[in-house]
Structure 1
Amino acid sequence: MPQSQPHTEAPAVPPPAPSIAHLDKVSYLFGYGIAHSLSPHLHSTVYSALKLNYQYLLYESRNLEACLALAREPKFYGAAVTMPHKVAIIPHLDVLTPEGEAIGAINTIFLRSAPDGTRLLCGTNTDCIGIREAILQNVSKSDAKNMEGKPGMIIGGGGTSRAAVYALKHFLGCSDIYLVNRDKSEVDQVIAECNSKGFGDGLRYISSVAEAEELEGPKVIISAIPDFAPKSESEWTARKIIETMLGKKEKGAILEMCYHPSPNTAIDALARNAGWKVIGGVEAMIWQGLEQDKVWLRRKISTLPVEKVKEVIAAEVSKPHL
């Protein structure tokens, strides 16, 4: 995952801690640039259905210590973590799950107790679960089985890429994984990091249309890039590689992770026109959030209001301001 550039400005003063006296428990989203997050709608729907006096609050700050201070409060029971904290928070946690350790980025903090009763801050990554469930919940069992031992493909080289590789390798059983991105150096870093964690076999950067034409087509694709029209030569090359892969005779399913400001992306249109099954990224967001509540509340997914959550999020996504 590409690391952010060093911040040379003086650290911003963190916002004050929110008032939580009226709540039994509280969770947060720690990060910066989070005002448009749909997560509060998701989690409030869960807590309302379960009649819990809990709340999920946005805490927008680049100051990691301020976030950790909130995690030490007695009413804290968990947090979602996004940029710029997903990697930086790891040294401050007591335990990592296998997913968190392998992916090397944490999007969820939860609490557990040591044998002596000490409270432990634990970290995991539910993005890979969100990707897995978004796909498996929206394709037939036979189509899912057909992904095993076949190539997968990831479009992009950013923060979601390692979770996508993990999901395709560990959960969907893909053999090779093609990586398509305008910047080869980003992909090189993803491959190096996956190799260092033991799940980098079969990762391959696709550099040209000619190379794409010679390869077996993927059965599942994860697109994790913003919806911007290609401008540079490298962006146009990447787009033509995508079109080549989508145009192969055998089709599959594509998860389009981009849904803001609109789920009607260029990749969505290209895939639909080529005959692919398109799964919206909102599905991945929903399933990773439900996995968070499963971990935080120690409940089975079957006890959570999945259909109500989908209804609420669909209504939010359809609003003009999104």
Structure 2
Amino acid sequence: MESPQIPARRTFEPNASLVLVGIRGSGKRSLGFLAATALKRRFITEEHYFKEVTGVSRLEYLKVHGNQQFHSRYIDVLQSMLDNHRTDCVIECGLGSFTRIVQDRLREYSKKNPIIHLVRDIDEIQQQMPGMDEQSVDLLRKGDPLHRTCSDFEFYNLKDRSRVNGDDGSAEPRSAAASFKLQEVKEDLARFVRFVLGVDVNHSSYASPFELLETPPELRSFTHAILVRSSDLIDDTVNLQELESGGDAIELCVDLCQPDMHTVISKQVAVLRRNARIPVILSVDTSSTSLNRTDLTAFYIGILEHGLRLAVEYLVVDLGQDDFHLEKVIRSRGHTKIIGQRIFESSSRFSWNSEECLDVYSRAEKLGCQIVRLLRVAKSRDENTAVVEFTSKIRALPGNHPPLIAYNIGPLGRTSQVFNSILTNVTHKAITRQAISECDPQITSQDAIKALFQSYVLDPLHFYILGANVTYSLSPFMHNGAYQACGMGHKYRIPESPSLAVLDEFRRDPNFGGSSVVQPWRVELYHKLAAKSRHAEAIGAINTIMPLRGTPEGEMYSLQEQANRRNQAGPVLGWYGENTDWIGIMTCLNRHLSPRNAISAKTTGLVIGAGGMARSAIYAMLRLGCRKIFIYNRTLSRAQDVANHFNSWASSQVASAEVVRVLRSTQDDWPEDASPPTLVVSGVPADPDREEPPANFEMPLPWLGSPTGGVIIELAYKPLDTSLLQQMRRFRNSTGRSWALSDGLENVIEQGIAQFELMTGRKAPRRLMALEVLRNYEDENGRLNEKTIQARLDGVFS
């Protein structure tokens, strides 16, 4: 396997332009557009720039001037394109990247700008281009590896999975229209390019100490990494769908050496990222290879270098390697964190209380490792006590030092695996292969969490839902199912007394864990908080309260300490407020938004209603980058209050004086100075259980002028098939416009998932929580049938 010479660095200015290279059919044009949209940048294609400079297309220039002059002019234009667009652009580089002169130019360019090599399965390219002959395919196959020599990153363009949708009132997670086919790769690529550029690395846009994405797993308590081997994926012994929960990271262990291993790893990393949606750790196990020492070292370092090209979040390096190779890798890590690892065999003379263990840790720190992982094959259970003492010794060192992962492996080491605080390797029920070595984990995350509850390290807590009418709430089914799946001893209930007086009971209960909050108390409770997230402040309403604990002497812990003490009982001194409604709405909007309707300066949003959910919808649109939002409500004064609230907030936050405008009547035409809306969220009640009559809102036809359709999010789910959704299906069928529809259950699921992770600090079992909601939902039409339930699950999670 030929590996490119590793660059001296992989860090760039956040506004550095990035360049996409790859063979024909790899997706440079479509992915370039998606990357530019995600980064809110200008997208420059080689074809368009050539015509801009010369006045004619490349084909026309070739016909007039001949091959030699075209080639010379083409190279000049391409170099000009690169030189004149160093910042704030995404650049598509065409077939010139096959030439030596352009490759040399790209290597020079990569010193300040990231070059990303797009890789795609050659069979998929052939299917996309059925007229391509075998000779052309062979040239592409042989030429593509050259791109690894002039790029510093690699992105595997994994095919989107197909979606099935119905027009019978069931949920429609994705549209089958062509413009929606790139949804999954859009999400994959957005995370990839942001990581490459260091945008939001280790910093969630949610900006809450309780949000999982805010704090990396090595800084949280009792986090786990699911270990998957390359051979597992090749042998198809992993149920990929189930990997979406059961760990805080996923470790791909490369345990094979076969032809084109780099491309195999690229695809495997892409597959795991798409299915697990958690950080990737890449490690290498060379124990089963038969290479000689020199070739083995070259293979090992080549895999590490390739892991950095894939921008994995964590890379494990063997501290048994010499400093020269390790320093070279660490120096070029970019934003990847290096885990320095040493595994002590059972025959090793080293023990946890020997000075040599401390020396290994110190060496890893001096090399520049961000995390140190020391493992030892246990010969007796006494060694589980010894590793705790060693860990305490490291924590007692003065100053700041890399986090330590230290535990015993093998059957006798399971106790230390349970009590190791960060990134313990675990197995998963989705992996059907049996353990093949002492290093393979033998417990799951569920096993470990259950053991922590049984040993009283973690405490069973009480969770509730507060609201005037919550008897039909689906939250207990969703949360209790998740607690059980994760091995947690918590219980989620509906209070017997539906009043705010129950807060006094919560304050006296040291095992109170948190509560969902629904109407009519989203705003009232907002004013009773000791602390709140900046999102709750911006929205002016909450849907979640959590206890703020302190010492028996009444000293309240810091918010970061509060987050670390989730799942532990203690005195309740106050309340912390958060809002996950906006996260659910934003997730649904993102999921259904087609590339054709990507957020731009012209994008317009429309929110129906003026309650707490409408506030969350406006905030979600603002977070997505929409700066023109209209609000309509039957009571004009309430709509104006909401508009005033967000315009005041926006003037200091997003440098815009007026982001929300009020529509006075459904009889009015759409304003001429704004594009028709492509983001529509209805937050008006359609619930027959409420005292007020259902709104039965329908969109005025003059407001549906978007030629590319858009997204309609209906937040009401009693009944599920509202008047608005019925109307939009009829409109879509009669006009052929690509409106994606999302009913209220989808948002219930998404905000509930966010709420579970917020209150417990654990990765939510998304599919299971969705299944609990769908199986227990019932309205005047009865329960959903199994076929509909499966279609919905497949639509969102398959």
Shorter-chain TM range is: 0.7 to 0.9
Match of 1:121 in 2: 575
Partner of 2:643: 191
Structure-2 change in CA distance of 1:63 and 1:227 (3 Å)? closer
Name the structure 1 match of 2:538.
Answer: 102
1:280 maps onto 2:743 in alignment? yes
Q: Which residue of 1 aligns with 2:505?
A: 69
Alignment of 1:311-322 (within 5 A): 311-317=771-777, 320-321=781-782
Distance 2:496 2:521 in 1: 11
The superposition leaves residues 84-111 of structure 1 with CA deviations (integer Å, 9 ceiling, x where unpaired) of: 3222223332111001111111210123
Following superposition, the deviation at residue 143 of structure 1 comes to 5.1
Aligned letter for 2:750?
Answer: W
CA contact (8 A) 1:114 1:120 kept: no
Please give the alpha-carbon distance, in whole angstroms, between the structure 2 residues aligned to 1:30 and 1:71.
Answer: 14
Percent of aligned positions that are identical: 28
Query: Structure 1: how far apart are the matches of 2:702 and 2:488?
Result: 50
Deviates more, 1:110-119 or 1:79-88: 110-119
Q: Which structure 2 segments of 5+ residues have no match?
A: 1-458, 558-572, 652-656, 688-694, 733-738, 784-798
Distance between the aligned counterparts of 1:284 and 1:147, measured in 2? Answer: 24
Report which stretch shifted further, 155-164 or 312-321.
312-321
Q: Judge conservation of contact 1:150–1:175 (CA < 8 Å) in 2.
A: yes
2:721–2:743: 8 Å Cα contact kept in structure 1? no
Query: Tell me, what secondary structure is at the counterpart of 1:59?
Result: coil
TM-score normalised over the length of structure 1: 0.79
Q: Determine the structure 2 residue equivalent to 1:59.
A: 495
Q: Is the 8 A contact 1:30 1:61 kept in 2?
A: no
Cα offsets for 1:9-67 (capped at 9, x unmatched): xxxxxxxxxxxxxx921101112111011111110111111121211111254532322
* 1:249-299 per-position Cα deviation (integer Å, ceiling 9, x unaligned): 231011011111x21111001222222110111111111111111111112
Query: Given the alignment, which residue of 673, 680, 684 partners 1:225?
Result: 684
Residue matched to 1:266: 723
Aligned residues: 287
Instruction: Give the 3-state SS of the residue equivalent to 1:160 in structure 2.
Output: helix
Q: Does structure 1 retain, via aligned residues, the 8 Å contact 2:465–2:517? A: yes
1:309 pairs with 2:762: no
Which of 619, 622, 630 matches 1:178? 630
Structure of higher RCO (CA pairs closer than 8 Å, 6+ residues apart):
1
CA contact (8 A) 2:599 2:626 kept: no
**Counterpart contact for 2:585–2:617, Cα < 8 Å:** yes
State the TM-score, normalized to the length of structure 2: 0.34
Identify if the C-alpha distance between structure 1 residues 213 and 102 changes in structure 2 by more than 3 Å, giving closer, same or farther. Answer: closer
Q: Which residue of 2 aligns with 1:86?
A: 522
Supply the distance in 1 between the matched residues of 2:550 and 2:533 (Cα, whole angstroms). 15
1:231 aligns to what? none
Secondary structure, aligned partner of 2:479: helix
C-alpha contact (below 8 Å) 1:71/1:78 kept by paired residues: no
Partner of 2:710: 252
Q: Select 1:47's aligned residue among 473, 480, 483.
A: 483
Give the 3 Å change call, closer, same or farther, for CA 246–224 of structure 1 in structure 2: same
- Unpaired runs of 5+ residues, structure 1, are 1-22, 229-234
Q: Who is 2:752 aligned against? A: 289
CA change 1:305–1:148 in 2 (3 A) is farther
Deviation at 1:174, TM superposition (A): 1.0
Q: Between Structure 1 and Structure 2, whose CA radius of gyration is higher? A: 2
**Moved beyond 6 Å, runs of 4+:** none
Q: 1:157: Cα distance to partner? A: 1.9
**Pairwise CA distance, 1:159:** 2.6
- Are 1:25 and 2:484 counterparts? no
2:476/2:492 contact within 8 Å kept: yes
